[in-house]
Structure 1
C-alpha cells in the first residue's frame, strides 16, 4: 500500500511537471510570436517613416472627406509628386485605400494618359495610407473650365477632339484590364505641362473577374451617374461611357452638365429626358458622338473601341504613338483608298 501511494505521488508529480512544462512552452511560444509581430510592426513603421522622409512637403493642393492631396518634392532628384494621404478608421477602409494604389500600379503602365503610379504604403503611426503619384502641373479640367469661363472664351473643337481621344484611349486600356473607373468627372482628369490629359483617382475603381462582367454597387458622383446605375441595376463598362459623355458636354458648355438639379429632379431627368445638344458652334459629327454616349440604354452606347474608330479622330490617331494597334490600320487604309480614288479621278 505504501509503495502504491508512493507510486501515485510520483506519477502525480510527473503530471504536474509535464503540465507546467507544456504551459510554459505555450507561453514562451506566445511571447515569441508577440515579439516577432512587434518587430515586424516596428520595421513597417520605420519603413513608412523612411518613405515619407524621402519627400519634402511643399503645400497642400486640396482636402476632402477622403483625405489630402499634398504637393511634395522627392529629395533624391527634386521630382515633384502628389502624395494622397488617406486616413483609415477601420481595417476595411485601409484595405480599400490600399487597393487604389494596387489598381493604379497595374493600370498606369499600359497608357500614357493615366496618372503614373510611384509608390503606396501604410503608416501605422498615423493610421493613413499614402499614395505617391505623378504631378500634373496644370491642375484638373474643372479648374481649366473655370479659367475659360472667366475669359469668356470657348474650347476649340480641335482641342476637345484631342482630349476626347486621349481619355477614350485611357478608358480603352482600363476596360481591357477588366476594370471600371466609375468616377469620371472634371475633377478627376488632370493636365500635364503639354496640355495632355491624365485620368486619375481610382479610389472607387472596380476590377471585374472573368466570371463577373457586371457591377452593382451604387458609387460615383451623382450628376455623372448613368441611368442604369441610378436605377440600382447591374452595370458594366458602358457606365464609364455615359460619364465621359457628361464630361464632354461639360467642357463644350463650360460647366453645364447634361442633367442638373437636386437629386430627385436629376434622377427624373436622367431617366425621362433626352440629353441636350451642345452649342451649334461645334460640328454635327462631334455633337452626335457626344449624344451617342448619352443614350439611355447602355446597349446603344458605343464602347471605347468603337468611339476610337470615329472619323473625327483620323488626324490625331495617326499622329499619336499611343494609338491602340487596331486603330491606325483602319485610318491608314482609308488614306490609301482615298489616294487611289484621286489617282483614278485624274486618269
Structure 2
C-alpha cells in the first residue's frame, strides 16, 4: 500500500447550510460521472412555518435517502483498530464518514469549549506524517474545509466515541454515526433522469396558507408564501431578532437553489440546441438577480428595522413567484417534448 493516498474531493460544493448534503457532495462532485445524477436532483425547495414569531424553515426536498441511488454506505460501529481500518479503506478507494466530538479535536472552533458531535469526510492518509486528511465544518478558522488529525488522536477519539457516546448520539445512526464506509456505486447514469426532474416539478405545486401560523409550501409557492409573510411582518406580525440568523441562512440556501437551476439549464443546453432553454436560462438569470436583491434588502432591514424594506422584500418574492411559476411550466414542457422525441 502507498505511504500517502488522497482520494478526490471538492472542498466547496455549496451546500454548507445542509451539512449532510455538503459532506456527500464533496465526494460525488469530485467524480464527473456523478454530474447527470446531480443535475437530476435538488429541484424543489420546501417551506414549513411552525410559529407566529419564528422565521419559516426552507430546505431542499431531498434527504439522505436520495444518495442510495449513487452511494453505498456501510455502517462501521466498532472495530479492533480504527487507524488500520481507515488506512485500508482509503487505500481501496473508499471514503469514510466519521463523527467526532469536536471538543476533542484541536483544529476545531469547539476545541476545549463545548460538546459538538458532527461528521467529517475522511479522504486521505499520510504515513510519514501519521495523519488522516478530512473535510469538516468549523475547522482551521473556516466554515467548511480540509484539515488533518493524527493517527493517535483519531484512534483514541473513535474508540472513546463508540464506548461512551454510542447510546446518547444514536439518533445520528442513519447519518453515518459513529462511522460509515462509502463507495460510489458502479455504472453511474450517463444522462440526466428527466423523469425524476419532471415529477419533482409536478410535486412542487403545494401552496401554503398565508393566513395560518403553521403551514407547508413547495416549489414556486415557497416564494408566494414568503411574499405574504414579509407583508405581514410589515403590518406588525412579530419576529424575534434571534431569528435573523435563520433568515440569512435561508436566503443563502435560496440563492443556491437559483444558481443550481441555472446550472441545470446550462447543463441541458450542452446536449441540445433549444430556443426554449435559452428562454429558461434568461428566466433563471432574472430569478438569481432577484434573489440577490432579497439578500441585500434583508441586510438593510436587519440593520435599520425600517418597514419599507419589508414591503420591498414582499415585492421581490412576488416577482420570484411569477418568474419561477413560468419557468417551472416551461421546463416541464421542455422535458415532455424531449421525452416524446
Q: Normalising by the residue count of structure 2, what TM-score does the alignment of the two structures yield?
A: 0.24
TM-score where L is the length of structure 1: 0.23
